[in-house]
Structure 1
Amino acid sequence: MLFIAVVLGGATFYLTQTYLKNKEKELQNSYQPEKAETKRIIVAIGDIKKGDILKGPMVAPVDYPSQFVSEGAISPGDAASYFGQISNVPLKRGQIIYASNLGGDAVDRFSELLKDGGTAVTLEVDAKKSNSHMLIPGDFVDILVLAEKSKIDPLSTKDLSKGLSTDKNKMLVPLLSKIKVLSVDRNPLASEDEKYRIPIDKEGRIPTYSYVTVGVPINDATKLALAQDLGDIVFFLRNSEDMRKVKVKTLDGLFAVYSDKNDSQDSYEYYSAKSRLVLTPTSKSDDNKNYKAKDSVDSPKLMFENTYPRIIEPASTQAN
């Protein structure tokens, strides 16, 4: 009887231990999540700045949990087709790279930025002419020339027959309207589709520069080349959405620079060189020339509204 009791006790102990171990294993398994499904994609192995050209050494393939990967993530197999494109946004180290993060292909040569029939013209500038070096590739500018009246004749065409007289001997004459800046010094746009590029030096600052390159139709290139010899080139920086024409029109001792597409009497913005008041006509009638002051500038500068920066300073402009 004693033997039977010992055998039964041993069996009971064994079965109890086995049950407890199996139960423990079940509990452990119940708390362990199922192995997550992954997707192989590419990520940035270092910080990528906006405007950088994507290259192979900048990315690495990783297995990422599918639940955290949105549609459009680039796979290692497709990565090569995206190399050479421009990053539209800054990317941090380890960040997934999506097709929407990238823009058009970077050009191999600067000449690929030019449109058919276009040519590049490089103009020497200083801080004043370049709006204190605030021009960057992708900006749009109006280009005018400040020259002696006796030298304006070679530029006199139907579009350039009138100019703003800044003093007894000089005139400010518009040359070209809404021209795109392609490069400042050796800092060009990376692609034709790139909206703008901010050149940054090693210290993280926008560097000063001495040259601005613009893209113009070939017929206008000769006009710019001639203008550089006749006087000083002046840039008016404008908003990319501004569609007004740049013209010069005089009326009762006032002058206007911009007009809308209608080119009507009241579509011009008038300015007084004497009082520095910004004026606009209050009547369409030429016989009733009434003007209303819009703003005042207490400095020997001219204010042109709807442009950036708001205060533009053509060289040698003096108060009368």
Structure 2
Amino acid sequence: MKPNRNLIFIVVALALGGLAAVVAVRYVQNEVAARTKDTGETVTVAVPKQDMEPGVVVSEGDLAAREVPVDLVPADAVTPDNHNEYVGRILRAPVREGAPLAASALVPLYDQFSRVIKAGNVGYTLEVDETNSISGMIAPGDHVDILLAVEQDQAGTRVLPLLEDVNVLATGNRVGDAPMAEDTQGFSNITLELSPQQAERLTVANKAGSLRVMLRQLEDRDPFNLDGLTQKELLRTSRGSQGRTGDSGVEFIIGGKG
């Protein structure tokens, strides 16, 4: 009885595949061993548990210990031994989850706050009331849009989109995600990160009319594409939409019978 040639080919192919897999695994192991030998032993450093943005105040719960090859560790790396010196400081640059944390990326909470502002931008403090602080619900790291309302002779009040997707650096004296003390939960100003041109526009707008701050959903960065609206246009739309849903998508219910 002659052996089945197809079966032999299959067996040989499986054997060669297994051999290739073993060789590949050993090659990877040898490369890792060689790299470890070249770079030396790993060291234990403090790393963020998640991605963190500039302006965030680092707390002890944000950090974890991790073994990292020496050649990947910055000279001023934060370690489990010295991390207490840096807890409560502000990040001046973004950091990635699991990446070694450099001490130079952190600044004291009330020292050189300007370090958290991106190069080319400015910090602009805007006074707010209960309405424009969204009842005190705005927090550092949020993004807001700002509308300008001005009075016009013929059209009445006109609302114009002024600034979009603006980063909030601080609310009152609160910076980053540090919890607020019970007696400092209210605030009368917010500090925004703006370009110089935006700061110029906001300064003029603050004198020209009243401002309204709108809080964005945390991850929403899309433009709203607002064109502006006058009181006259709004009332005209309202009159054409009485008792029904008009083109604006808002139902106006006026009056009623008992």
TM-score bracket relative to the smaller structure: 0.5 to 0.7
The Cα shift of 1:139 comes to: 0.6
The Cα shift of 1:244 comes to: 2.0
TM-score, normalising length from structure 2? 0.52
DSSP-derived class of the 2:66 partner: coil
In our comparison, the structure showing a higher alpha carbon Rg is 1
Q: 2:221 aligns with which of 242, 247, 257?
A: 242
Is residue 2:86 matched to residue 1:84? yes
Quote the residue 1:117 is aligned against. 120
Contact 1:144 1:233 in 2 (8 A): yes
CA separation in 2, counterparts of 1:213 and 1:278?
A: 42
Quote the residue 1:223 is aligned against. 201
Is residue 2:176 matched to residue 1:201? no
Q: 1:72 aligns with which of 66, 72, 78?
A: 66
The Cα shift of 1:80 comes to: 2.3
CA separation in 2, counterparts of 1:278 and 1:79?
A: 68
More helix by share: 2
Q: Which runs of 5+ in 1 are unaligned?
A: 1-39, 43-49, 55-69, 88-98, 151-166, 190-196, 256-271, 281-290, 300-320
Quote the residue 2:210 is aligned against. 232
> C-alpha root-mean-square deviation of aligned residues, in Å?
4.5
CA separation in 1, counterparts of 2:101 and 2:252?
A: 42
Q: Which runs of 5+ in 2 are unaligned?
A: 1-43, 47-55, 69-77, 90-96
**Aligned CA distance change for structure 1 residues 77 and 103 (closer, same or farther; 3 Å):** closer
**Aligned CA distance change for structure 1 residues 248 and 103 (closer, same or farther; 3 Å):** farther
Quote the residue 1:148 is aligned against. 151
Contact 2:160 2:229 in 1 (8 A): no
CA separation in 2, counterparts of 1:131 and 1:278?
A: 31
DSSP-derived class of the 1:171 partner: strand
For residue 179 of structure 1, what is the amino acid of its counterpart?
Answer: V
Counting matched residue pairs gives 175
The Cα shift of 1:113 comes to: 1.5
CA separation in 1, counterparts of 2:67 and 2:245?
A: 55
**Aligned CA distance change for structure 1 residues 118 and 128 (closer, same or farther; 3 Å):** same
CA separation in 1, counterparts of 2:205 and 2:142?
A: 21
Q: 1:177 aligns with which of 145, 154, 164?
A: 164
